[in-house]
Amino acid sequence: MDQWQSTPSNSPYQARSSSMATQAHNGYPEYRQGSPTPRTRSSTESSVTKASLVRRDSLQYGSPDGQDDVVPTTFDESALRLLIDMDCGVDCMLDRIKQGMASAREAAVFLQKRAALEGDLGRSMHKLAVNTKSAYAANECKPGTFASAWDRAMTLHETIAENRLKLSANLSEMSEELSTLAKEVDKNRKQVKDTHASYERNYNESLSTLSKAYARFAAAQEDLERFVVAKEGENMRDARMGVPQQASSSRKGPGSVAKAISKGTMFNRKNPARQEDDVRSRMSAASTSYQKSKQDMQAIKSEYFNLQLPRTLRALKELSDEIDTAMQFHLSKYAYLLESSLLSDAVSLVPKGPEDGPGLKAIMESIDNRADFKEYVQAYRVANHGMGRGPQREDPIEPSHLPPVSPYIDRLNQGYPSQHNLPSMRNGLERGTATFGVGLVEQMERDGVEVPKIVTKCCEAIERYGLDVQGIYRLSGTHTKVNRLKELMDRDIDSVNLNTEEWTSDINNVTGVLKLWLRELPEPLMTNSLQAGFVEAARNENDRLRHIRLHERVNDLPDANYSTLKYLMGHLSKVIEQQAVNSMTVYNLALVFGPTLFGTNMMANGHPPMNGGPSPGGAAAGIGDVGAQNKAIETILDRYKDIFVEE
C-alpha cells in the first residue's frame, strides 16, 4: 500500500489519476500467471499525463507569492478508508465519476456558447467601429473637435471589442479542455472498471472452485462412512448417529447390508480390504484438493481486499478528484476572466488616472461646438471666395452720381498716364515690398531667402510665446488686429517687431496672420497640379503605402514649396510636442491646415477661372476632398522625420 500513498501535487487538478488508472489497467498482477510482468508507461498514460501537465501550466493561477491555490490538491485518505469499508464502494465511485463527467460536459457546452456570444459581440462591435470611422471620413461630416472626439470614441469601442474577442478565445479554450478531460476520465474509468471486474471475477472463481472441492470431499467422506456401515453393520451406524442400543437391536437383520449397498456403497465381500483402501484414497485426495483450494481462495481473498480493492478505489477516487478539481478551477478561472474583462471595459470607459487616457465621457465633453462652427465658416468662406454666390451687397455705380471732373485734373492728366493705367502702376509699386498675395518664388528671390520671411518671423514668435497656449492655431485672433498686422507686414515686414506687448498679449493674432498669408498665396502651398495626387495618396487604407505615396508627392513639389512646407511642418511638430498643454494633436492641426495648405484654385489676379467654374483640384474639389486633404496633412505631420529629416 505504500506505493499508493498520495502526495501533494502542484497541478491545479490531479494530474496523476489518469496514469494511476492506466497502471491499474496494465500493472495489476494476474495471479493465475506465474509472476506479474514489469509495469511500463503506456502511450495512453504518457499522452494523458502530458495533457494534464499542459493543463497545469496553462491554468495555474494564484497569489503573486505562489502560496494561494485556487483549489486544494491533496488526497483525502479518510474518504478512501470509508470507501474500503463499504460493500458497494466501487459502484459508488463509478456513479460519482459519471456525475462529474456529465457536469463537465454541461460546463463545456455553456462555456462554448458563451464564447460564441462574446465572439459575435466582439466581431460585430469591431466591424461597426471600423466601418463607422470609414463612413465618417468618406462622407461630408462635421470636422473639428467633434470629428476628433468621434474618432477616439470609435477607437475606444475597438478596444472594448478586442477585450471581448480575447475573452471569447479564453472561454473556447477552457471548453475544449473540459471536453478533453471528460473524455480522458471516461476512458480511464472504463479501464479501471474492467480491470476491477477481472479481479472480482478471479476472486469469485476461487470461491466457486473451493465450493466444488468441498463437495467432492463431502462425497468421498460420505462414501467412506457408508462403507464402514456396510462393513460393521448397523450397530456402528446407529452408534455414530446416537441411536440407543435397544432400537439398534430391533432393526438388526439381513436387510441392513443390502440397504447400505443400495445407497451407493459398493461393498465387495470378496476383497473388502482393497475396497476400503480405494475409498480412503479418494477421501485423502479430496481432502488435499479441498485444503489447496481453500488456501488459494484465502490468498486471493487477502490480495483482493488488501491490495486490489484499495488500489481500484484509490484510482477511482483520484479520477473523481481530478474532474471535480478541474471543474472548480475552470469555473474560478471563468469568474476571473469575466471580472477582468468587465474591469478592463470599465477602465477604458472611466480611466483610473491621466496615464490611461481620457474616458468616453471626457472624450464627448471635449467637443467644442463654437470653435468647430468658427473653423467651418472660415474654411467655407475661403473655399467659396469669388464664386459669386448670394445677392450683391454693393450699390450699383451710375454715371449720374459721379462728381464733375475738375479742369485742373484734366490738365494734370495730359502729362500723366491715363486713369485706367493707375491700378497697374500702383500694383507695380506695391509688389516691390508686398508680402501678401505674392508668389513664393517671387518673394524668396526678392528677399534672397530659402523660406519666406513672414513664415520664419511668425513661427519664431509662436514658438517663443504660444506653444503652451490652449487651442493654438485652432482659435482665431481679433479681426481688426489681424488686419492691422497684415498691413504692417505688407508695408515693411522687416520693421515689424512681434516681441512687443501688442502682439505677445494675444498670440492668436500672429497665427491668424500666418494662416491668412497661406490662404492668399496665388497658388496653394501644395500646388494645384499636385492636389489630385495628394488626395489619391491619402486615400490609401494601408498606413505604410499611404506614407510612401505622400512622400513621393512631397518630393514632387517645387523647391520653394518644398522648403516652405518642410519649415512649417517642423514648426507644427514643436506645437504637437506640447499637445498635453495646448491640446493640439496631429489630428487637430491637420483639420486646421488641410484647407489652408491646399487652398483654392484662384487665378493670379484673384478672380475665378474664365469659364466661371472651378478647374480640377480647385475650390470645389477641395470641399469634396477635405477629408483626404486633412488625412494627407495628418500623415505628413505624423511622418515628419521620415519625410523631411531622415532623407
Do 340 and 195 reside in the same domain of the chain? yes
Within 13 Å, how many C-alpha atoms sit on residue 118's CB side? Answer: 22
Q: What is the pLDDT of residue 391?
A: 63
Q: DSSP alpha helices (H): ranges in 304-439?
A: 309-349, 360-365, 369-383, 407-414, 422-430
Do 464 and 339 reside in the same domain of the chain? no
CB-based contact 557:530 (threshold 8 Å): yes
Single residue among 311, 332, 367 that ends a domain in this structure? 367
Do 504 and 632 reside in the same domain of the chain? yes
Q: DSSP alpha helices (H): ranges in 475-542?
A: 479-492, 501-504, 508-519, 531-538
**How do residues 27-62 score in pLDDT, each as one tens digit?**
333 333 333 333 333 333 433 333 343 333 333 334
Do 363 and 448 reside in the same domain of the chain? no
The answer for residues whose C-beta is within 8 angstroms of residue 565's C-beta and 6 or more apart is: 525, 526, 554, 557, 597, 636
Q: How far apart are CA 179 and CA 578, in angstroms?
A: 55
Q: How far apart are CA 271 and CA 275, in angstroms?
A: 7
Q: How far apart are CA 182 and CA 624, in angstroms?
A: 62
Q: Which H/E stretch holds residue 525? A: none
Domain count, the chain: 2
- Spell out, as residue ranges, where the chain has pLDDT lower than 50: 1-71, 235-237, 239, 245-265, 397-431, 601-624, 647
Q: At what angle do helices 531-538 and 626-638 cross, to 10 degrees?
A: 80
**How do residues 411-449 score in pLDDT, each as one tens digit?**
334 443 333 333 333 343 344 578 899 999 998 889 899
CB-based contact 498:504 (threshold 8 Å): yes
- Of the candidates 176, 196, 178, 200, the one whose C-alpha atom is nearest the C-alpha of residue 188 is 196
CB-based contact 185:322 (threshold 8 Å): yes
Bridge partners of residue 69, in order along the sequence: 62
Q: What is the pLDDT of residue 380?
A: 76
Bridge partners of residue 62, in order along the sequence: 69
Identify the CATH number of the domain in which residue 589 sits. Answer: 1.10.555.10
Do 325 and 455 reside in the same domain of the chain? no
Do 186 and 278 reside in the same domain of the chain? yes
Single residue among 312, 347, 367 that ends a domain in this structure? 367
Do 638 and 508 reside in the same domain of the chain? yes
Identify the CATH number of the domain in which residue 322 sits. Answer: 1.20.1270.60
Single residue among 339, 367, 395 that ends a domain in this structure? 367
In the block, cell 488641410 appears at: 594
Burial 177-198 (b: 16+ CB within 10 A, else e): bbbbbbebbbebbebbbebbee
Output phi, psi for 62, to 5 deg. Answer: 175, -170
CB-based contact 283:220 (threshold 8 Å): yes
Q: Which H/E stretch holds residue 495? A: none
CB-based contact 374:476 (threshold 8 Å): yes
Q: Residue length, the chain?
A: 647
pTM for this predicted structure: 0.45
Q: How far apart are CA 137 and CA 151, in angstroms?
A: 9
CB-based contact 339:164 (threshold 8 Å): no
Q: What is the pLDDT of residue 604?
A: 34
Range of the domain at 582: 440-600+623-644
The answer for residues whose C-beta is within 8 angstroms of residue 270's C-beta and 6 or more apart is: none
